[in-house]
């Protein structure tokens, strides 16, 4: 590795050693390569862009959806450097702070110029922000929580969809970062961000200090009793994830009644309340936070001793992101999923998303009637749509080719609204098939009788040799029995196969005599191995 990178890591940030994934990423960044880094929580993803940016001239533009995390990172960088070289530009900044940030970023003196400019994605919808960024001497465009750009991902944010346009306009190296992204999520991130030539680094998913277990239940009453009993018996601080806002409030109240310092976190609470709760948890003033998936990204607390789910998640992407909050200090931590088959219904319901025909027609009409193309601000003025709703609708039209985008402006590419709606409906059906298949993979994990760690790592494309001895199935000996049953594996994990109806897919894992294959447009499919061999349903594709 370039000695200057090691020197920067050591002298400016105090990092005496770097992990293999960090070194590989820094080498690529030093060569000007685009990067997609899929590295687990606690791996030190921020070190990659911080060391890279401090080693070259210019300002790194960092896009992050979490305002609280932006502030934390800015403070940490400035403290490490002993001077103010990082600035934040978001809705919480005062006019004076905004002016100061832009002045620092635009300073012609490299010694005084800002090295980091943090923005929230919604800021990029403003044309003046995009233009000022284009005029800057940008070293890297850093996209944190990059899975937010993917509708396959567990925390899709429509505001992230404009980042592909920004990548093209800035024409600077991109460092995209995320803690969890299964193969289809990675592919969509690359496509959305226009990173055809990016180096993908995905490693380190194995967290051996986390003990994995699943508790199955017959009734909702029994499940709730077991969850409460388990949380109240745990030592240290922890998180309890639930499926709905109502459940967070109910569980939090019952835990308080049991003598714990507990509070509920969900998107329906006031921003000031969420911030105060976040701060209290970090300060050790709460024993348990009961949360929906709204509480997850940005938690940088090393000593979370348990993460318990009272309901099955919508995908293993979501699950691994959430359980990754446990044991970041390397000490043992427990992650537990409470599962009832009937709970799958709510996840399958959420996977079925309707098409907003009226909104799509209104948006198409506004674009067709415009004299030329419109940027996002012009479309909002013409339609009255909110930025979030507009982003979602534009995404649907872009996916079916009904709208073209160039330099942040949009033009209608289709006149037949009925045909466009039909295309969107068909595309959404394929997406729903994928989403339902991800719920099915979560079910398979919950009902799995083999080594749970092998199952999870296989889902993310990382093969593990041997059993983990740190999950409930390994504890009871079920994993060893199951491992013997699953020896018939006609195709290697991660190999490419072709199906007559579903096209090409990737072999993700085996369970008894069943092979799971991920197909790009149809999601995860589980097939009988004996039937596959008898009917020759799959053929290996050699590159």
Specify the pLDDT at position 93. Answer: 82
The pair phi, psi for residue 68, each rounded to 5°, is -65, -40
Specify the pLDDT at position 474. Answer: 95
Q: How far apart are CA 211 and CA 192, in angstroms?
A: 35
Within the chain, which residue ranges are assigned CATH 1.10.10.10? 357-415
Q: Give the count of beta carbons closer than 10 Å to the beta carbon of residue 196.
A: 8
Question: What tokens were used for 216?
Answer: 């199955």
Within the chain, which residue ranges are assigned CATH 3.40.50.300? 3-202, 210-349+441-451
> Taking the domain 357-415, which CATH number applies?
1.10.10.10
C-alpha torsion sign, points 381, 383, 389, 392: negative
The pair phi, psi for residue 465, each rounded to 5°, is -90, 130
Within the chain, which residue ranges are assigned CATH 2.30.30? 486-543
Q: Are 304 and 239 in contact (CB under 8 A)?
A: yes
CB-based burial label for 154 (10 Å; 0-12, 13-18, 19+): buried
Specify the pLDDT at position 379. Answer: 87
Percent of the chain that is helix, strand, coil (3-state, to 5): 45, 20, 35
Say which DSSP state 263 is in.
E
User: Could you tell me which of 341, 319, 343, 525 has the C-alpha nearest to residue 447?
Assistant: 341
CB-based burial label for 30 (10 Å; 0-12, 13-18, 19+): middle
β-pairing verdict for 496-499 and 503-511: antiparallel
| pLDDT tens by residue, 6-65 | 888 888 888 888 888 888 999 999 999 999 999 877 778 889 999 999 999 999 999 988
Which of left, alpha, beta for 154 (phi over 0: left; psi -120 to 50: alpha)? alpha
Specify the pLDDT at position 1. Answer: 62
| pLDDT tens by residue, 56-114 | 999 999 998 877 778 888 998 999 899 999 999 877 788 899 899 999 999 999 889 99
Q: Give the count of beta carbons closer than 10 Å to the beta carbon of residue 473.
A: 25
3-state SS assignment for residue 268: coil
3-state SS assignment for residue 239: strand
Nearest-Å Rg of the Cα atoms of the chain is: 24
Specify the pLDDT at position 152. Answer: 57
List the chain residues with pLDDT less than 70: 1, 125, 151-156, 158, 294-300, 346-354, 407, 483-487, 543
Specify the pLDDT at position 299. Answer: 64
Specify the pLDDT at position 396. Answer: 83
Give the right CATH number for 3-202 from 3.20.20.70, 3.40.50.300, 1.10.357.10, 3.20.10.10: 3.40.50.300
3-state SS assignment for residue 68: helix
Specify the pLDDT at position 350. Answer: 57
Q: How far apart are CA 97 and CA 75, in angstroms?
A: 14
Specify the pLDDT at position 485. Answer: 54
The HSE-up count of residue 469 (CA atoms within 13 Å, CB side) is 2
Write out the CATH class of domain 486-543.
mainly beta
Q: How far apart are CA 254 and CA 250, in angstroms?
A: 6
Which residues are CB-contacts of 7 (< 8 A; sequence separation ≥ 6)? Answer: none
The fold adopted by the segment(s) 210-349+441-451 is Rossmann fold (3.40.50)
Supply the pTM of this predicted model.
0.77
Q: Kind and range of the H or E element at 418?
A: helix 417-447
Specify the pLDDT at position 480. Answer: 84
Question: What tokens were used for 143?
Answer: 């996209």
Specify the pLDDT at position 151. Answer: 64
Q: Are 265 and 277 in contact (CB under 8 A)?
A: yes
């Amino acid at each position: 590795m370039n000695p200057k990178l090691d020197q920067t890591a050591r002298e400016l940030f105090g990092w005496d050693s770097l992990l293999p994934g960090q070194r590989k990423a820094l080498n690529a960044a030093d060569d000007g390569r685009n990067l997609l880094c899929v590295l687990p929580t606690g791996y030190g993803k921020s070190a990659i862009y911080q060391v890279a940016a401090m080693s070259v001239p210019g300002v790194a533009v960092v896009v992050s959806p979490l305002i609280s995390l932006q502030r934390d990172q800015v403070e940490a960088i400035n403290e490490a450097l002993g001077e103010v070289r990082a600035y934040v530009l978001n809705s919480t900044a005062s006019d004076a702070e905004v002016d100061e940030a832009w002045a620092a970023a635009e300073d012609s003196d490299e010694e005084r110029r800002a090295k980091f400019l943090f923005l929230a994605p919604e800021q990029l919808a403003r044309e003046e922000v995009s233009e000022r960024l284009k005029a800057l001497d940008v070293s890297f465009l850093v996209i944190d929580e990059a899975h937010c750009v993917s509708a396959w991902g567990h925390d899709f944010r429509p505001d992230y969809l404009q980042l592909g346009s920004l990548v093209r306009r800035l024409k600077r190296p991109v460092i995209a970062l995320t803690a969890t992204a299964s193969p289809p999520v990675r592919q969509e991130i690359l496509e959305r961000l226009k990173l055809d030539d990016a180096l993908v680094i995905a490693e380190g998913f194995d967290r051996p200090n986390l003990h994995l277990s699943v508790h199955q239940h017959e009734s909702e009453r029994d499940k709730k009793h077991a969850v409460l009993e388990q949380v109240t018996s745990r030592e240290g601080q922890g998180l309890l994830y639930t499926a709905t806002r109502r459940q967070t409030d109910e569980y939090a109240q019952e835990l308080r009644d049991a003598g714990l310092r507990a509070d509920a976190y969900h998107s329906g609470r006031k921003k000031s309340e969420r911030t105060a709760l976040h701060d209290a948890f970090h300060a050790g003033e709460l024993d348990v936070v009961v949360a929906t998936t709204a509480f997850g990204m940005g938690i940088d607390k090393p000593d979370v001793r348990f993460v318990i789910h009272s309901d099955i998640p919508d995908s293993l992407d979501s699950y691994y992101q959430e359980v990754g909050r446990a044991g970041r200090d390397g000490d043992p931590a427990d992650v537990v999923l409470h599962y009832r088959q009937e709970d799958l219904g709510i996840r399958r319901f959420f996977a079925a998303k309707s098409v907003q025909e009226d909104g799509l027609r209104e948006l198409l009409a506004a674009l067709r009637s415009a004299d030329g193309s419109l940027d996002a601000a012009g479309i909002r003025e013409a339609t009255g749509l909110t930025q979030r709703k507009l982003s979602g609708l534009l995404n649907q039209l872009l996916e079916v080719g009904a709208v073209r985008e160039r330099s942040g402006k949009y033009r209608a590419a289709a006149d037949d609204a009925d045909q466009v709606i039909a295309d969107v409906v068909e595309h959404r059906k394929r997406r729903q098939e994928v989403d339902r298949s991800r719920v099915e993979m979560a079910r398979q994990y919950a009902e799995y009788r083999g080594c749970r760690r092998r199952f999870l790592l296989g889902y993310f494309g990382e093969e593990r040799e041997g059993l983990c001895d740190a999950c409930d199935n390994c504890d009871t000996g079920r994993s060893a029995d199951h491992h013997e049953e699953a020896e018939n594996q006609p195709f290697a994990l991660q190999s490419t196969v072709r199906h007559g109806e579903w096209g090409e897919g990737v072999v993700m894992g085996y369970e008894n005599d069943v092979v799971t294959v991920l197909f790009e447009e149809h999601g995860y499919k589980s097939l009988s191995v004996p039937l596959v061999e008898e009917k020759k349903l799959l053929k290996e594709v050699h590159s």
